[in-house]
Structure 1
Amino acid sequence: MLLALAGCLLLAGISYRFLLDARLDAERLTNSHRLDFYTSSLESALAKHEPLPVILGLERTLGEFLGAPQDGRLREAANRYLETVQRQTGIAAAYLINPAGDTLASSNWATPQSFVGQNYAFRPYFSAALNGDTGRFYGVGVTTGEPGYFIAAPLRKAGATIGVVAVKVSLNAIESAMTQSGERLLLADRYGVVFLAARPEWRYRTLAPLAAPVAAELRSTRQYADHSLAPLSPSRVLEILGQAITVRLALPNEGIQEYVAQSRPAGRLGWQLLMLSDMQATRRAAAGEAAAIGFAAAFAAALAVYLRLQRRRRAERLAAEIELEARIAERTSELLLANTTLEQKVGELKQAEDILRETRNDAVQAGKLAVLGQMAAGITHELNQPLAALTTLSDNAVKLLARGESGEVNENLAQISELASRMGRIVGELKSFARKTPAALQAVSVAAAIEQALFLVESVRHDRRLRIELQLPPTDLKVRADPVRLEQVLVNLLRNGLDAMAEGVGDKRLIVSCHSSGKQVVIDISDFGPGIPAEILPHLFEPFYTTKPAGEGLGLGLAISRAIVEGCGGEISAHNTAEGGACFSVRLPAA
């Protein structure tokens, strides 16, 4: 058995090496094709703008301006010409430099980051163009701080170079394409400085520590501004032109890992386009396949051993069957006894389930009766206000009839009809509350609801000679609520506030205010009564909890109000004010 296991492990090891080499070869071939594609796309994008400085130099205005740099008319013509070219070609900038390196005209002449007046004599592209060649350079702009690819060409007159025309091309689109590809792509210059990468954190890192002369040159040309240029690989220079090797890199956010690195030369400045493939992923895939082969071999070996053991067990089973039949009779009697016991326990379990079901039904019914009792007691409490209003209106109607004022009588009768309908709606809403059905939520005007509630308590306020002060915002606020239920809550709170000040002698004033608070609207009703005792506050909204004398309240008003407010997705609370009275706050979702 151990020999078979060792053979399987050896097979898995050999398979792993073969599969890893095959996967690496396939990956190298695929990456080689992708590198060819990306390199071709990059060089095509760069070549598209290559002739632009030469074409710009053909414009006579630029040559004339170099000969007369103090001419304001030529300066404006040159600036506007370059601005037009920049806008139509989509390049980052186009500018004209005199032989001293000073920028005389630029497409961004009208912006705060204008190149006009800047000296670029230290830039290599300027030196190359001034010597009659095409200057090419990639670096971070010293004026704008934005990186770009610079192309410069000499502007000649009578065979002599009188200035330099330069354009700056943004490679952001190329870097964005590298990011969207989902692959680990890096574009490095001839010194190994990464200036474009699929991930921003890889940018301005080096493939190896920079030599002192190289670092000095980069500082003198200010090619990468103040970036630190920390190395990705601290131990070796990657000389991988066209080949695929395995390297260990410390990529930001990925740690030190092993990669298969391939590169292609790109552009005319000795750039390298690198593609990195995760070596660990390739190893895991090869290991998985090798493990599968090993397991398959192990399974085959195990199957052979299993078949051999099966023959041995078949003989043992034949002997065991004789013994088994002898025990069957004994076991049968034991099973019959156990079956009888089990049937007895099943019967007891069914009896217990019946008792539990009956108890649960009784509890549900008791809960329904409790809720119905609570709502029945609340009907009288909640209809007191509209009934009082009906009494007042009907008395006024009799007096008005006696005086022959039929117009006022009709108005009172209309209000009586509206109150009767409202009482019907209140009863319907209380029935709906008893059934725990959701309210018919809609956009409700807070001002209108307060106005209707004040109307219902007007007779009580008048009889007790109390004053109600409204502090409403100039803009009408709306909430998501049921209009009748909201009026019911407001009437209850207003009535409670009036009751609290009935026996007082001080400021008999009830303040109703409203304001917006984020996505909620807050309605505050404050009185100047004696306030709420501290021991009562925690129980204020419990059903049947009341501080009023016997016969004056059932303790259901605030409980019903809380249920209505919570059904609208809001909340209700109470606290004592600094003046000694009580304040009830209703928070509802704004509509």
Structure 2
Amino acid sequence: MARKTSKRIIWIGIAWCLISVLLGLGVGKLSKDLSYQALHDETSDRLLASIHRVRGALNAFHYLPFLLTQNDDVIRLVDETRHTQQTDLIEQVSRYLEQTNLVAGASGLFIVNQQGKTVAYSDWRDNQSLATNEFAQLPLFQLAERGEEGRFYDNKPGHPAYYYLSAPIYQSTHFVGAAIVRINLENLLPDSPQDELFAISDDSDEIFIASPQRWIGEHKNGISTQQQIPLSNGVNANIWQIDHQHYLTQSVRLDDLGWTFTTLTSARANERYSDMLAAITIAVLWILGVWMLYLRERRLKKLSQQETRDVLARNEEQQRSIISNAEVGLLTLNASGHIRFINPKAAQQFNLTIEQAIGQPLQTLLLDVTPNTSLDAALKAFGSPQFTPIIGVEARGKRQPDSHFPALISLRVMTHSHQHEYLATVVDISRRKQLEQALLDANESLEHKVQQRTLALENAQNELIQAGKMAALGRMSTAIVHELNQPLTAMRTYIAISRQLLDEPDMVKENLSLLDDLTQRMAVITSQLKTFAYKKPEQVSPVSLQTAINQTTILLRQRLETDQIELDCSQVDGDHYVLGDNARVEQVLVNLVSNACDALAEQSQKVICMRSEIIDNTHIRFTVDDNGPGIPEAQHSQLFEPFYTTKSMGSGLGLGLAIVAAIVRDLNGTIKVDQSPLGGARFAITWPLATLETQPSP
């Protein structure tokens, strides 16, 4: 019967939860519908305000072309340039256009003659090169020829969007030219509020005015996912999803301009309110269900309490039987700390009979209780609210007549009792103490042996370090002797020849030039040693990876072109900066690219690829890959050691990668070598991320 009742309650609870969820979702949907209707009206008002501001901004320039046509110098310039070039007059008119544009704030002012050729413009100081008939074929010039006001919108791919205004220039009644005003549409509304979102696009849906400005040049479908949601008032709400956020939009096309105005209003707050309202509705219904269940359970609980009291009475006797047969000492104490009950195990531990133990204070069965300890405080706090339970406190128990034993004492309140009663647990730990002492003796012996072995290992390690130093010194001396011996031998030969050719200055001059080349080679060798010994820079600042790569490409361009090596840097972000200094970051890139070029010597198709990515918003991972033969894994651990090289003798000192590792380490970075997806080697560097705002740090 109870099982059937429980199943019924479960099914009722599931049904109630489902009904609560459905009602909550319905409330949320209704709230979202009403909020979308309010947003729709608000967006309409914003759309009208945006159109008014754009038209006002354009109307501010409408007077400008007519103002230019009334200037006598402008009329004289376009009239006279039909016959001759008036340099002084052109400069005078250009100055007038420049000064006028400073006040008007347009992108450019132009004066064109009757053939559509530009004869003066406001940006004449910038020495811009204009096409001979730049405006001749544009509709705004053709309208000016017919004596009408010209308007023209131009949005070429890769260039800013411009809006042109034109007015005809007459000498008496003859058309002699036109005044043209160019307006950069991206800067048309520089004072737009930051929280106002709008976009103005042309008939190809390309955005040329927007807030935020990052939308400029984008296609409307490229910045958003669009959908329509029907509302209860019969209106279809247009919703744009941008960066996982919904915006309610309204659009209108202005036929006279050919532009489409779109205003966006964030629906995040409304959607959150609707979701919160749905959640509150569900929560209230669930709480109501839980309250009803609580009332039912409360009634059932009262019925079961009487049954519980009967069961407790039966269990009390059973529990006493269990306590009497327990393998630990158990005692119950009254409010003054006197023994009311003791089980046989506790009587055996203290070597007392049960009759002797009953009524004695617990404190008389313990030896030397240390004052101000937790055990002392508990023994003195029996019957008071300040009593604090203790668990597993070590003490010494009296074993009659005159011995003692180590024990763990625990004291706690017996919560089921209406009076102040306490339960004491006594565990004899004599065997454990013996084992602890044996373990302590074994640990002391082991520690002595470990110290002896550690001393032996330290001596062996010192010998290995000394041997490593001697090996590195041997490799260094061999490499330096070989690298310097060849130019020294050649220098002795050229000096001997020069002595015999003192009467032939040209031959001596040629030998001296060769001697100079040899000294330059020796200087390069010693400079590598100097770079390897270069200390960490005192101050670091943001360094652009793209700039460092450009400098590296310039330094190695001749070799890359000669060896026909393709250097792919397209996966390096131009906005990635690392903390360092330009010279040492460029040194790292030059060494890595040079090594990659050496590895590609035998390849038919030679490719080097660079890539950068941000890790955890704190570091930049920069990789250099090649499609060469790769590096055996057995050599990875030695690659960054000084004077270690896999090249033939005479091809290098083995300091290139050691210098790279030292620089990266000084700049708080790491470097690893691995197998490249291209088939060759990959060198991966992790550098601290920096921004242009990062202050230089010592």
Q: How big is the shift at 1:274?
A: 0.9
What are the Cα deviations for residues 110-143 of structure 1, in whole angstroms up to 9, with x where unaligned?
768633522434434334444444333322269x
Quote the Cα distance in structure 1 between the aligned partners of 2:72 and 2:585: 67
Alignment match of 2:308 (pick from 320, 325, 328): 320
Q: Which of 182, 198, 209 lines up with 1:196 in the alignment?
A: 209
Closer, same or farther in 2 for the Cα pair 1:97/1:311, shift >3 Å? Answer: same
1:51 lines up with 2:58 in the alignment: no
Question: Is contact 1:245–1:262 with CA below 8 Å preserved after alignment?
Answer: no
Q: Secondary structure at the match of 1:518?
A: helix
Structure 1 position 300 matched with structure 2 position 288: yes
Among 157, 162, 170, which residue is 1:148 paired with?
162
Which of 250, 258, 275 pairs up with 1:262? Answer: 250
Residue by residue over 1:444-469, the C-alpha shift from the partner in whole angstroms, topping out at 9 and shown as x without a partner, is xxxxxx9xxxxxxxxxxxxxxxxxx9
Change (3 A) 1:576 1:245: closer
CA offsets per residue over residues 495-523 of structure 1, 9 Å max, x none?
Answer: xxxxxxxxxxxxxxxxxxxx999369x9x
Q: Does 1:18 align with 2:30?
A: yes
Q: Distance in 1 between matches of 2:227 and 2:34?
A: 29
Which residue does the alignment assign to 1:275?
263
Paired with 2:528 and 2:256, the residues of 1 have a C-alpha distance of 71
Matches within 5 A, 1:434-583: 472-473=526-527, 477=531, 478-480=533-535, 518=587, 571-572=641-642, 574=644, 578=648
Q: CA deviation at 1:20?
A: 1.2
Question: Contact conserved, 1:244 with 1:261, CA < 8 A, in 2?
Answer: no
SS of aligned partner of 1:318: helix
Are 1:86 and 1:107, in contact at CA under 8 Å, matched by a contact in 2?
Answer: yes
Does 1 or 2 have the higher relative contact order (CA < 8 Å, sep 6+)?
1
Note the alpha carbon deviations across 1:184-217, whole angstroms, 9 max, x for none. 522134786643344656746479xxxxxxxxxx
Give distance in 1, aligned partners of 2:104 and 2:430.
89
Whether the 8 Å contact between 1:188 and 1:272 is mirrored in structure 2 is yes
Identify if the C-alpha distance between structure 1 residues 302 and 110 changes in structure 2 by more than 3 Å, giving closer, same or farther. same
Alpha-carbon distance change, 326 to 201 in structure 1, aligned in 2, over 3 angstroms: same
Unaligned runs of 5+ in 1: 208-229, 237-242, 385-449, 451-468, 482-514, 523-569
Q: How high is the sequence identity, in percent, across the aligned residues?
A: 19
Deviates more, 1:297-306 or 1:32-41: 32-41
TM-score (structure 2 length as normaliser): 0.44
Q: Deviations over 1:215-271 (max 9, x none)?
A: xxxxxxxxxxxxxxx9999999xxxxxx9742366x8x879x985322467796364
Following TM superposition, by how much is the alpha carbon of 1:168 offset from its aligned partner in structure 2, in angstroms?
A: 0.9
Change (3 A) 1:296 1:71: same
Per the alignment, residue 125 of structure 1 pairs with 140
Q: Tell me the distance in 1 between the aligned counterparts of 2:31 and 2:265.
A: 17
In 2 relative to 1, CA 313–125 (structure 1 residues): closer, same or farther, beyond 3 Å? farther
> Alpha-carbon deviation of 1:315?
1.4
Instruction: Work out the CA distance in 2 between the residues paired with 1:4 and 1:77.
Output: 87
Distance in 2 (CA, whole Å) between partners of 1:476 and 1:369 is 38
SS in 1 for 2:527: coil
Shift of 1:40: 4.8
> What is the aligned partner in structure 2 of residue 67 from structure 1?
79
State the 1:104 CA deviation: 3.3
Structure 1 distance, partners of 2:654, 2:113, is 80
Residue 309 of structure 1: aligned partner = 297
8 Å Cα contact 1:245/1:260 also seen in 2: no
**In 2: Cα distance, 1:45 partner to 1:363 partner:** 90
1:328-367 alignment runs, 5 A limit? 328-331=316-319, 337=326, 351=436, 358=444, 361-362=447-448, 365-366=451-452
In 2, are the aligned partners of 1:83 and 1:108 still within 8 Å (CA)? yes
| AA partner of residue 247 (structure 1) | N
Contact 1:140 1:146 in 2 (8 A): yes
CA contact (8 A) 2:115 2:133 kept: no
2:86 partner letter: G
**Cα offset for 1:479?**
2.9
Separation in structure 2 between the aligned mates of residue 301 and residue 345 of structure 1, nearest angstrom: 54
Which secondary structure does the structure 2 equivalent of 1:326 belong to?
A: helix
Q: Are 1:115 and 2:184 an aligned pair?
A: no
Cross-structure match for 2:237: 246
Distance 1:287 1:124 in 2: 54
**Letter paired with 1:518:** Q
Unaligned runs of 5+ in 2: 1-11, 229-233, 330-344, 346-391, 393-426, 471-479, 481-521, 537-583, 592-639, 667-698
In 2, the alpha carbon distance for the partners of 1:26 and 1:7 equals 29
From the superposition, tell whether residues 583 and 50 of structure 1 become closer, same or farther in structure 2 (CA, over 3 Å): closer
What is the CA-CA distance between 1:64 and the residue it aligns to? 0.8
Residues 149, 165 of structure 2: 8 Å contact kept: yes
CA contact (8 A) 2:201 2:261 kept: yes
Structure 1 residues 192, 376: CA separation in 2 closer, same or farther (over 3 Å shift)? closer
Q: Distance in 2 between matches of 1:60 and 1:158?
A: 12
One-letter code aligned to 2:129: S
Q: Distance in 2 between matches of 1:42 and 1:346?
A: 94
User: Could you tell me which residue of structure 2 aligns to residue 172 of structure 1?
Assistant: 186
Question: In 2, distance between residues paired with 1:380 and 1:22?
Answer: 82
Contact 1:99 1:164 in 2 (8 A): yes
Whole-Å separation in 1 of the counterparts to 2:270 and 2:94: 56
Structure 2 CA distance, aligned partners of 1:123 and 1:473?
A: 63
Q: Which residue of 2 aligns with 1:96?
A: 111
Q: Report the CA distance between 1:346 and its aligned residue.
A: 12
2:64 partner letter? L
Q: Is the 8 A contact 2:69 2:169 kept in 1?
A: yes
Q: Partner letter of residue 186 of structure 1? A: A
* Residues 173 and 517 (structure 1), Cα distance of their counterparts in 2 relative to 1, 3 Å cut: closer
Greater mean alpha carbon deviation, residues 295-304 or residues 270-279? 270-279
How far off is 1:319 after superposition? 1.0
CA RMSD of aligned residues (A): 5.6
Amino acid at match of 1:303: W
Counterpart-to-counterpart distance in 2, 1:380 and 1:121: 85
